[in-house]
Amino acid sequence: MSQSEKTGGVARPAPRAQVRAIDPSKLPKHFDADEISARWDRFWQDEGVYHYDESRGRSETFVVDTPPPTASGSLHIGHVFSYTQADVVVRYKRMTGMNIFYPMGWDDNGLPTERRVQNYYHIRCDPNTPYEAGLRFEQASADTRKKPARLVSRPNFIEACFDLIKEDEQAFSVLWHRLGVSVDWRHEYQTIDARCRRVSQFSFLDLWQKGHVYTSDAPTMWDVDFQCAVAQAEVEDRQVPSAFHQLEFAVEGEPAARIVIATTRPELLPACVGVTAHPDDERYKSFFGKRAVSPLFRAPVPIFPSELADPEKGTGILMVCTFGDQTDVQWWRTEGLALRQIIGNEGRLRPVDFGKAPFASLDVPRANAAYAEIAGKNVKQAQARIVELLRDPSASATGNGAPLVREPEPIQHSVKFFEKGDRPLELLTTRQWFCRLLDRKADLIAKGEEVEWHPAHMRTRFRDWTENLAIDWCLSRQRYFGVPIPVWYPLDANGRPDYDHPIVAAAEALPVDPTTDVPKGHSEAQRGKPGGFVGDPDIFDTWFTSSLTPQISSHWGTDAERHARLFPADVRPQGHDIIRTWAFYTIAKAMLHEDEIPWRHALISGWILDPERKKMSKSKGNVMTPLPLIETYTADAARYWAASARLGADTAFDENVWKIGKRLVTKLFNAAKFVLSQPGEIAPITNELDRAFALQLRNLVGNATRNFDAYQYAHALQETETFFWTRFTDTYLELTKARARGEVAGASAVDPAASGSAVAALRLGLSVLVRLFAPILPFITEEIWSWAYSQEAAELDPSAPAAQRSVHRAAWPNSSDFQGIEAPAHAESFDVAIAALAAINKAKADGAVSMGREVVALTLRATAPTLEIFAGVRSDVLAAARVSGCEVEATAGFGAGEFAIKAIEFAERSIEGA
RNA sequence: GGGCGCGUAGCUCAGUUGGUUAGAGCACCUCGUUUACACCGAGGGGGUCCGGGGUUCGAGUCCCUGUGCGCCCACCA
């Protein structure tokens, strides 16, 4: 019994392999891979070979949580890599009899689409521009791009997004068909479509009812270019040049005292709200409780002790600004410091008045004059200007000369960036929606432990990320193309929104757009009016929706029966770079909603690196597009390449592997042509060599099945490939060729039993190997299957749908393939035959004669037990080696199955062996 | 600073729980065209398994240590 039969797969009888011979002259000499793949893709789609069957139960269903690609990205060789790896696993499961649910989604909501649309059409969204019905755009020309981008309304912008993603999704779809990704196209969705918007908003409602989401006006990481909040998961560190600036502060009431503070952000000096040092630091101990006075702005701020201050860093004392980094936020909170926000949403210094709270100065006119020098500038410009000002002795708070006490000292340090951004993130206080996660870290980790990760060490990444989570999930984004947050806020008598009592949309009303839809019990006339309401203008983080892909497919919230059937899913294939986002949020959502895990297995694929082992990226210009390679090497070869890499292994791109894949495809074509064109009639597999071959084939099936069950498809492929070349085409085919045709030396008539046994074993071998290769090489295997084997299915059950004729719906090789074949007398018979043939071949190579040269006299040496086994396969070996006269000599001193040539004589020429 | 992974032939990679003389493909060299296949076949050369130490009858495999590379995270006055 095979592994899959034991582990839940549905064992089905194997084809009988009693297929009739085909006429090879009807097949092309070389095959046309493009024609084959187009033809079979059509067949698979027309016949619904990959359709999910709703009538079958959960236990025999295998549910895939397909990654929806970002359609606005470009086609990348990495797509071929990871989607093929998942497809290989799925195709295997399908052949074990599982009912496959394999949907296809497109992740088109979000920033990448907006950016692409902006660039492609050279437009910008401006919510103040009026909507123009019927407005369509064309790809911007180089000339157009030189002019400022056209401003369009939000609805027009969204229409443009829909237009472009349609084109992009088409391009991906073409590649998927070309690659033979066996998704069920009837289950297609876009993360921006109405149904996904509904699921996404329903998720928010559920989280709101369960108390997991809240809104808060708090310091949040903010991208000044996108003018949008970002979550911790979207942040990355980058090394950038910076400089330490040492600034001298005065201490109030202590004219002799001075404090020198090192900062990399002197432009935040006007936002300084405190000064701190380590409580044990003797240099500053005496100042705690007093007030420091900043240079230039003469702002008095409290000096307080903090364990978080490191005496070794900089000068050991630092200024707290609102906000330079997360620690500033912490100090601001614990010390109850003032909020002096000087950076505006667009990254420029806002106008402020040092005469008014929360700002303060001992010399208001001077402070305002200094600030006027930097107001309106961006962070970089402001820094340059403020450094100049700090070189002026009159700016000093102590009267000791220039506050910049020495030249800035250049350093490299890492700064937080939005992963898609170009300028460092700022911490700005803005109102955002959050999802509580910090209080559930332990539960999240426990859920991560329930998931089986492949490879297992990827679990560590999930755990590490979860353990180190520092802030709740910021859900809201100040963008346009995404799922709207389904809430309104009541307006008080003064027209101010009451954020503490949001009006959340009703479930039956979803999806809603609160900027155009009206909450229950209100009218459009009340929008924006005192006593009325206002819609939340924000949209969700794109991960808020894509973290629901299992629930999107299961129709959670609208179809409880289907949801029960499809959730949780069985597998989630994805890349390791998005464990902290996609995998993490998906696990979080499943837990918060239903205390479930979203899927049992996470299949983590690696990355394609360029030949120098560098990550492929657009900016490096080393990205490869897949279609030209597929055209050169065939889609099966592309899949061979992808399936040669283990899960999780980052792999250097090597075109050579594609070449080998193509060679394998060609060899399969030729071997199949040969095997199926043998004219002999089938007979029971009784010959010793054939039985020994069948035994090895059976072992191969067991190993391949075990490997596939463990998601080790690369091992299965490698072993199957090795067997195919070294046990089938190079050896078994050669050894049985003559007997299959009835060309046995010394026999005047064909022995139908001997010939039929060989023909049957050849057909069985091909049938099994084609099915073992089918998950990886779907096109060539389907082609071969169609020549003979598929007709058998049709004959067995003429009423069966055509889809049943596909190799991809055929039974995965199992014990029933080998039913009725007796074990060989010696398990080693096949190996002994190969060894004997190899020994004779070597003698021919040494003698520099062709493999076809007849051997008129041969003396073989081996141990007596080896020779006994040899006797059972002797006639096949001699026929394959074209030996007409053979003697054997039992000799001690050889290993089991080892042969030596004592003497060999070729026709018309001879040499003497040792 | 913490964590994870990797280091095996010129190249890309296998090598299960320790067990014959460490493998494959490509590349290289020699030979061979008889119809399944030149998108071929046969044969051959090539390795200090990153270094050091240890456990063991026995280590590519296990332990310790060093080193190089990649990635993730943290720090970031």
Does residue A107 surpass a pLDDT of 50?
yes
Give me the pLDDT at residue A9, please.
43
Nucleic strand B contact set for A 266-305 (CB, < 7 Å):
277
A844 touches strand B (CB under 7 A): yes
pLDDT value at residue A14: 61
Rounded Cα distance, A246 and A231, in Å: 32
pLDDT for residue A111: 82
Give me the A residues in range 764-793 that sit within 7 A (CB) of strand B: none
Q: What pLDDT was estimated at residue A687?
A: 95
Chain A residues 348 to 387 whose Cβ lies within 7 Å of strand B are none
**DSSP-based helix, strand, coil % in chain A, nearest 5:** 45, 20, 40
Q: What is the pLDDT of residue A263?
A: 93
pLDDT exceeds cutoff 80 at A26: no
Query: What does the pLDDT read at residue A619?
Result: 65
Cβ of A464 near strand B (under 7 Å)? The reply is yes
Torsion of CA A54, A55, A58, A64, to 10 degrees: -20
> What secondary structure does DSSP assign to A454-486, as a single string?
ESTTHHHHHHHHHHT--S-EE-EES-SSSPBP-
- What integer is the mean pLDDT of A714-720? 92
Q: Smallest CA–C1' separation from A849: which nucleotide?
A: B32
Whole-number pLDDT of residue A413: 83
Q: Can you list the positions of beta strands (E) in A482-552? A: 487-490, 503-504, 533-535, 539-540
CB proximity A313–strand B (7 Å threshold): yes
**Lowest mean per-residue pLDDT among A219-223, A300-304, A788-792:** A788-792
Alpha-carbon dihedral angle through residues A108, A110, A113, A115, given to the nearest 10 degrees: -170
How confident is the model at residue A666, as a pLDDT? 93
For residue A843, which of A902, A758, A776 has the smallest C-alpha distance?
A902
Pick out residues 848-877 of chain A having their CB under 7 A from any atom of nucleic acid strand B.
848-854
Nearest to A63 by CA among A553, A684, A779: A553
| Residue A11: per-residue pLDDT | 53
Per-residue CB contacts under 7 A with strand B, chain A residues 119-148:
none
Nucleotides of B under 7 A from a protein CB: 2-5, 11-15, 21, 24-26, 30-34, 36-37, 39-44, 69-77
* ipTM field: 0.94
Residue A415 has pLDDT above 50, yes or no: yes
Query: A668: Cβ–Cβ under 8 A, 6 or more apart, which residues?
Result: A724, A769, A770, A773, A777, A780, A781, A784
Q: How confident is the model at residue A269 (pLDDT cuts 50, 70, 90)?
A: very high
State whether the beta carbon of A610 lies below 7 angstroms from any atom of strand B: no
pLDDT at position A912 is 43
- What share of chain A in percent tops pLDDT 90? 67
Lowest mean pLDDT among A311-325, A543-557, A607-621, A722-736: A607-621
Lowest mean pLDDT among A217-226, A744-753, A834-843: A744-753
Tokens, residue A534? 């206002």
Binned at pLDDT 50, 70 and 90, residue A748 comes out as low
Closest Cα to residue A67, out of A427, A488, A543, A775? A543
Interacting residues of A166 by C-beta distance below 8 A, sequence separation 6+: none
Q: What is the mean pLDDT of chain A?
A: 90
Looking up tokens 């139960």 gives A57
Strand, coil or helix: what is A104?
strand
Q: Which of residues 12-31 of A touch strand B (CB under 7 A)?
A: 24, 29-30
- Residue for token digits 């095997």? A675
Say which nucleotide is closest to residue A467, CA to C1' distance.
B73
The predicted pLDDT at position A523 comes to 94
Residue range A883-890: average pLDDT? 91
Q: What is the mean pLDDT of residues A427-445?
A: 93
pLDDT tier, A16 (very low <50, low <70, confident <90, very high otherwise): low
Q: Is the Cα dihedral A828, A834, A837, A843 positive or negative?
A: negative
Cis, peptide link before residue A323, omega less than 30° from 0: yes
Residues A430/A222, Cβ–Cβ less than 8 Å: yes
Task: Report the pLDDT averaged over residues A21-46.
Answer: 87
Q: Buried (b) or exposed (e) across A620-649, using 16+ Cβ within 10 A?
A: eeebbebeebbeebbbbbbbbbbbbbbbbe
For A20, A55, A63, A672, A807, the CA distances from A52, given in Å and listed in that order, are 32, 9, 10, 31, 17
Residue A911: band (very low, low, confident or very high) from pLDDT cuts 50, 70, 90: very low
**Across residues A784-796, what is the average pLDDT?**
82
pLDDT band for position A568 (50/70/90)?
very high
Mean pLDDT in residue range A688-699: 95
What is the enclosing helix (H) or strand (E) of A254? Answer: strand A254-263
* Structure confidence at residue A13 (pLDDT): 64
CB-based contact A465:A579 (threshold 8 Å): yes
Distance A881 CA to B34 C1' (A): 12
Distance A632 CA to B39 C1' (A): 12
Cα(A203)–Cα(A551) distance, rounded to whole angstroms?
9
pLDDT confidence band for A630 (50 / 70 / 90): very high
